[in-house]
Amino acid sequence: MKIKVCGMRETENIHRLVKLKPDYIGFIFYSKSPRFVFESTPNLPGDIKKTGVFVNSEIEFIKKTIIKHELKCIQLHGEETPEFCKLVKSLNVEVIKAINILDKYDFKELIPYQMFCNYFLFDTKGKQPGGNGYGFNWKILKDYNLDKPFFLSGGISTNHIQKIKKLVKTNLPVYAIDINSKFESKPGHKKIEIIREFKSKINEL
């Protein structure tokens, strides 16, 4: 099971996180987010995928940001079309298309996206595009019948270990767990020791 830690911003905090070797570290390039990256980002080891999170951004802005921050993965967390995902994928990066859901969702709507995304990410529908701090109804995932692997997101904390364990035992293609707000002391600053504990338990699944 892969781990993605999203919403990082502070250099020293990032360096401490890197020692835990998460698979993905996410940086948010959405100005309305309290975790918005407004400066440079540190270099990461090659085995950690530096991920940029965008919400309805112009393709030129994404291109420039990929170059400036040496991004390896792009997470599209807005209302981006399959055609737009195709454009981003042509930039030689992984593409994660985030889908915000709550109590129900018609997964057939994702079929047009499959060719142009490496992964989906299921997050909670709320006031913000992401980082709302609470979860969606995981029971609806039983209706997911596509082959595309996905990230599980939305208010995940250490209290979800057993629930994640049950989900892993199903035939669902759960690729990674995405964590953010429940591991913070403030927006953009993560509690490293709690992430260490969470990652250790996830590795046991």
Tens of pLDDT along 65-107? 999 999 999 999 999 999 999 999 999 999 999 999 978 899 9
Task: State the CATH number of the domain containing residue 178.
Answer: 3.20.20.70
| Tens digits of residue pLDDT in 28-67 | 999 999 999 988 999 999 999 999 999 999 999 999 999 9
Task: Indicate the number of domains in the chain.
Answer: 1
- pLDDT for 129 equals 58
Domain span including residue 73? 2-203
Please provide the average confidence, as pLDDT, over all residues in the chain: 93
Report the predicted TM-score, pTM, of the whole model to 2 decimal places.
0.94
Q: What share of the chain is helix, strand, coil (3-state, %, to 5)?
A: 35, 25, 45
- The number of helices, as runs of H, and strands, as runs of E, in the chain is 5, 10
Q: Give CA–CA dist 23/48, Å, rounded.
A: 5
The residue among 41, 71, 45 whose CA lies nearest residue 57 is 71
How many angstroms separate the CA atoms of 173 and 160, rounded? 18
